[in-house]
Amino acid sequence: MPRSLSAPTATAVLLIVTLAPPVALPQEGPPPGDPDPALAGPRWLKGNLHTHSLWSDGNDYPEMIVDWYARNGYHFLALSDHNVLAQGQAWMGVKEANRRARHDGFARYRRRFGDAWVETRTEEGGLRVRLKPLGEYRTLFERPGQFLLIQGEEITDHFERKPIHMNATNVLEVIGPQGGGSVVEVMTNDLAAVEEQARRLGRPILGHLNHPNFGHAITAEELAMVTKERFFEVYNGHPEAHHLGDETHVGVERMWDIINTLRIGEMKADPVLGLATDDSHNYFGHGGSTPGRGWVMVRGRFLTPESVIRAIEAGDFYASSGVTLQEVRYSPEDRTLTLAVDPRGDARYTVRFIGTLRGYDPARKPVTDKDGHPLPVTRRYSDDVGKVLATVEGAGATYRLTGEELYVRAVVTSDRPPANPSFQGQKAQAWTQPVGWERRIAPPAAAIAPRRPEIRKLGTIDLDLVEATPVVFGDRLYRFESVRKGYKANTTGDSYFRFIDVETGKATPAFARGHDLGSAHAEGGSMWAFGVDRRDGTRIVAFRSDDLERWETIPALELPGWGLFNTSVCKAGDRYVMAIEVGSPPEVVGVPFTSRFAESQDLRSWKLLPEDRVFTKDWYSACPTIRHLDGSDYLTYLETLPGPRYETFIVRSKDLIRWESSPLNPVLVASEQDRAIANPKLTADQRGEVAGAVDRNNSDVDFCEFRGRTVITYSWGNQQGTEFLAEAVHEGPLAGFLKGFFP
Ligand SMILES: [Zn+2]
Ligand SMILES: [Zn+2]
C-alpha cells in the first residue's frame, strides 16, 4: 500500500520544516508510556481488527466494548462497523438498544461510565442515548505504548446474494460499497477504494477480506485472482463464518492453501496472509458472536496505527484463536522456520508445517450437484495442495526448507478447546504466515526478460477473421485463413478456406466451400487443411493439395451426436495428432469447451483417442493449437477469466492425459498493441473500427517457424463476434518459444 506523501503535501511539509525555528526538545514532564523511540525494540502487540457496536449491528455501546478489550490484554482494537464511521452526532432509542442486547445494556453502560458521561435526551419516542464518536471516547482509553484505538470500517458489499465484506483499518473517511459485475470485481473495486484513500491521504490503510465462507460468498479461485488483496481472515470468531466448510464448500484454512498455491505456483503473485478476528457483535454473554475468540499478534516497535499496519504488511504477525507463541521466525539464510509456543497449564501442542511443493499435482475438479452440473464453489484440488510436510509434538519446532516448497506455514494446535469456542470440537490454534515463497514469484523485470519467451505484437491485419494458421510451404510463408460467411470481402455467400502469400498479399483460390473453423498443416510437398462441416457440426474434413489450387477432399472423422469446433494438427513422432475442440454432449465435455484428441498414420483417416486423452473437462478451455516437441505435446488454449476476459494459456503433456500448466501463463492477453495497424491496406473506416472496438480477448493463437523466427497469428475483440486478426512475432525458433514457457 503506498505510503508516500502526495507531491503537494510533501512540499508543504518541507516548507514547514524549512521555515520553522529550531525547537528545543522538552527535558521535563512524565515519560511517555511507549519506549523511547530511539531504543524501541520489536515486541508482540495483541489486537482485534473486526468489532461491531451499536453504530451498526453490534449490541453494546462502543465504550463498553473498548473497555472489555482494554481490560483483557489487548494492545490495539479497531471498531469496524458496517459502512459507517463513529463520527458526528448519532442518537439511538434506549429501548431499541436494550431490545438488541436482550438486557438493560443502558443501565450497565450508565453504571460503568456514570451520568456525567452518558448523554441522553427525551423525544416523542422515548429516551434516546447518544452514541459517542471515536474522537471523543478514545481519550478515555488510549495510553501511549499500552492501548491504541484504530478507526476501522467494514465495507459491506455484495454481488447478487453473496455478501462481500472487507475491513479497512485506519480509514479517515467512510468508504461506500463500490459494487461490481462479479465477486472478483466487487473485491477489486472495494480494495481500489481503500488504496485510493490511502494514496490520497498519505496514510497506510489495511484492506483485508472478511469471512470468505460467510454466505459461502467467495471461492478460493476468486480471491486468488484479486492479487492486490494480500490479507484475509483465516479465522473469524462469528459462528456463521463456516470455518470448517461442509461437503460442498472447503474449510477456510484449506481455502488458504488453495489460494496460495494458485497465487505462488500459477500466478507468480504474492500470497494471501491470514488474520484472526472476533467479528464480535454480542456482548451480553448469551451466544452469538462474542468477543475474545480471534486476534492477531503483531511484532511492532511502536503502538501506532502505522507501525502495526506496516508490520502486518511485512507479514510479521500471526493469527490466534487461543495459542500464544513466544517466537516465530523465518531465516531466509538458513531456510528455517522456527517457532516456540508459550505453553498454558498442561496443554499439549502439535505443530504442523503445511505447504505445497514444486511439481504438485495441479488436478482440480468442479464440485457438482446431483445432476452432474458444476457448482459455483471452490474446486477440489489434489492432496498435494497444502499438504502436511512435517508434524512435531511439543511446544517448539523448526522446519528446514528443502528448496522444493512453494511456501511453508505452520499451524499450532492445542489439545484444549479455546475459552470460548465458535464451533463444536474447536481446539485453540495459532497460524503463522507462509514463508519461503519470495523467490517463487515474479523476479524483477530484468531477470524475467530472458526467461519468458518474448512476444512482440505487430498489430491488426484484418477484420472479421479469427481462425488462421501461419504455415511454410515451398520456402514461402503463407497464412491459412478460414473465411467466414460474413467476412466483408466474401461475396460467395458461403464460408470457405484460402491461403494468403504473406509477402505478396496474394490469395489462393477459395476452397472447402461451406466449411468452418479450419487450420492448416504442411507435410513434405503437400499442404493439408482441416475444418468442420459447420460450427458445432459432427464431421471433420481434410483437404490436400500440392499446388494450393486443386484440392482433394477427404472425410477425416465423424463423431455423431457431438458438437465440433476448432481443430489443430501436428506431427508427433511416427504419427499425427489432432486436437479437436468439442462443445457437446455434456458427458463428453464436462465444462465446455474441451479438447479431445485423434491420431492418424497418414493424415487421411483419423481415429479418436480414448476419453482419458482430454484437456480438460474441468473448466472452459477453447480453441486449441497443438505442436509436438521431444516427446511432449504442447497445447495453447483459451482460458476464461472474470470480467469476462479471455487469455491464451499453454500446457504440455507426454501422454495427453496428465497436463503441466506453464508457470509463465498467460501466453497472450488483450493489450493496447492489438490495435496497432499492421496492414497498410486497411481503410479509414476499418481503422476506426479497430480503434473503437472492445478488446477483451487474445484467442485462436497459432504459430509456425519461418527463417528462424516464430510467426504468430491471433484474434482479439469482444469474444462475441466482433473480432480482428492480428500478428505477433517471437525472435527465435518455435522450439525455444514453446519450451521457454516451461523453465
Ligand atoms: Zn461481515
Ligand atoms: Zn463484521
Q: How far is CA 566 from CA 105, 362, 579, 594, in A?
A: 68, 26, 8, 11
Q: Quote the ligand 2 centre to 83 CA distance (angstroms).
A: 10
The mean pLDDT of 125-133, rounded to a whole number, is 96
pLDDT of residue 489: 87
Q: Quote the ligand 1 centre to 280 CA distance (angstroms).
A: 10
What residue ranges in 594-644 does DSSP mark as E strands?
Answer: 594-600, 607-608, 614-615, 622-629, 632-641
Residue 177: nearest ligand to its CA? Answer: 1
Q: Quote the ligand 1 centre to 344 CA distance (angstroms).
A: 31
pLDDT digits (tens, 9 = 90+) for 482-508: 999 989 889 899 999 999 999 999 999
Chain centroid offset of residue 152 CA = 24
- The answer to whether residue 418 scores a pLDDT higher than 60 is yes
pLDDT digits (tens, 9 = 90+) for 577-635: 999 999 999 999 999 999 999 999 999 999 999 999 999 998 899 999 999 999 999 99
The mean pLDDT of 316-329, rounded to a whole number, is 97
> pLDDT band at residue 15, thresholds of 50, 70 and 90?
very low
Q: Quote the ligand 1 centre to 78 CA distance (angstroms).
A: 14
pLDDT of residue 686: 92
Q: Quote the ligand 1 centre to 331 CA distance (angstroms).
A: 36
Classify residue 668 by its DSSP letter: B
Residue 213: nearest ligand to its CA? Answer: 1
Q: Quote the ligand 2 centre to 328 CA distance (angstroms).
A: 28
pLDDT of residue 2: 36
Residue 164: nearest ligand to its CA? Answer: 1
pLDDT of residue 672: 82
pLDDT of residue 238: 98
pLDDT digits (tens, 9 = 90+) for 426-441: 999 999 999 999 888 8
Q: Quote the ligand 2 centre to 643 CA distance (angstroms).
A: 27
* DSSP-assigned states of every residue in 443-470: --HHHHTTTSPP-EEEEEEEES---EEE
Q: Quote the ligand 1 centre to 210 CA distance (angstroms).
A: 6
Rounded to 10 deg, the angle between the 62-71 and 105-113 helix axes is 60
Burial bucket for residue 469 (CB in 10 Å: 0-12, 13-18, 19+): buried
For the chain, give the mean pLDDT: 92
pLDDT of residue 443: 60
Q: Quote the ligand 2 centre to 251 CA distance (angstroms).
A: 19
Q: Quote the ligand 2 centre to 82 CA distance (angstroms).
A: 7
| Pick from 158-172, 383-397, 631-645, 697-711: least confident | 631-645
Percent of the chain residues topping a pLDDT of 70: 93
Q: Quote the ligand 2 centre to 586 CA distance (angstroms).
A: 41
Q: How far is CA 575 from CA 522, 605, 608, in A?
A: 14, 12, 13
Residue 241: nearest ligand to its CA? Answer: 1
pLDDT digits (tens, 9 = 90+) for 284-314: 987 899 999 999 999 998 999 999 999 999 9
Q: Quote the ligand 2 centre to 3 CA distance (angstroms).
A: 26
The mean pLDDT of 379-390, rounded to a whole number, is 97
pLDDT digits (tens, 9 = 90+) for 677-692: 999 899 989 998 998 8
pLDDT of residue 1: 39
Residue 277: nearest ligand to its CA? Answer: 2
| Pick from 26-30, 561-565, 600-604: least confident | 26-30
Q: Quote the ligand 1 centre to 238 CA distance (angstroms).
A: 9
Residue 78: nearest ligand to its CA? Answer: 2
Q: Quote the ligand 1 centre to 52 CA distance (angstroms).
A: 10
Q: Quote the ligand 2 centre to 51 CA distance (angstroms).
A: 6
> Is the preceding omega at residue 593 within 30 degrees of 0, hence cis?
yes
The mean pLDDT of 17-39, rounded to a whole number, is 49
SS3 15: helix
Residue 153: nearest ligand to its CA? Answer: 2
The mean pLDDT of 647-674, rounded to a whole number, is 92
Q: Quote the ligand 2 centre to 294 CA distance (angstroms).
A: 13
Q: Could you give the CA distance from residue 509 to residue 366 in angstroms, rounded to a whole number?
A: 46
Q: Quote the ligand 1 centre to 211 CA distance (angstroms).
A: 7
Residue 51: nearest ligand to its CA? Answer: 2
Residue 81: nearest ligand to its CA? Answer: 2
Q: Quote the ligand 1 centre to 425 CA distance (angstroms).
A: 23
Q: Quote the ligand 1 centre to 182 CA distance (angstroms).
A: 18
Q: Quote the ligand 2 centre to 80 CA distance (angstroms).
A: 7
Q: Quote the ligand 2 centre to 637 CA distance (angstroms).
A: 41
> pLDDT band at residue 21, thresholds of 50, 70 and 90?
very low
The mean pLDDT of 26-49, rounded to a whole number, is 69
Backbone angles phi, psi at 584, to 5 degrees: -160, 165
Q: Quote the ligand 2 centre to 53 CA distance (angstroms).
A: 10
pLDDT of residue 17: 38
pLDDT digits (tens, 9 = 90+) for 713-733: 999 999 888 999 999 999 999
Q: Quote the ligand 1 centre to 275 CA distance (angstroms).
A: 14
Query: Can you say whether the dihedral through the CA atoms of 591, 664, 522, 605 is positive or negative?
Result: negative
Q: Quote the ligand 2 centre to 684 CA distance (angstroms).
A: 56
Q: Quote the ligand 1 centre to 16 CA distance (angstroms).
A: 42
The mean pLDDT of 380-396, rounded to a whole number, is 96
Q: Quote the ligand 2 centre to 104 CA distance (angstroms).
A: 24
Q: Quote the ligand 1 centre to 58 CA distance (angstroms).
A: 12
> pLDDT band at residue 4, thresholds of 50, 70 and 90?
very low
| Pick from 28-42, 60-74, 148-162, 304-318: least confident | 28-42
pLDDT digits (tens, 9 = 90+) for 235-292: 999 999 999 999 999 999 999 999 999 999 988 899 999 999 999 999 998 789 999 9
- In order of their start, the domains of the chain are 11-90+131-441 (3.20.20.140), 91-130 (no CATH), 456-739 (2.115.10.20)
pLDDT of residue 285: 85
Q: How far is CA 204 from CA 11, 143, 148, 608, in A?
A: 19, 21, 16, 58
> pLDDT band at residue 38, thresholds of 50, 70 and 90?
low
For 284, the grid coordinates are: 451480553
pLDDT digits (tens, 9 = 90+) for 185-216: 999 999 999 999 999 999 999 999 999 999 99
Q: What angle do CA 273, 433, 348 make, to 5 degrees?
A: 130
Q: Quote the ligand 2 centre to 64 CA distance (angstroms).
A: 18
For 396, the grid coordinates are: 517448539
CA atoms within 13 A on the CB side of 34: 21
Burial bucket for residue 330 (CB in 10 Å: 0-12, 13-18, 19+): buried
The mean pLDDT of 393-402, rounded to a whole number, is 95
Q: Quote the ligand 2 centre to 267 CA distance (angstroms).
A: 30
pLDDT of residue 719: 86
pTM of the model as a whole = 0.62
- Residues near ligand 2 ion, CB 5 Å cutoff: 154, 279
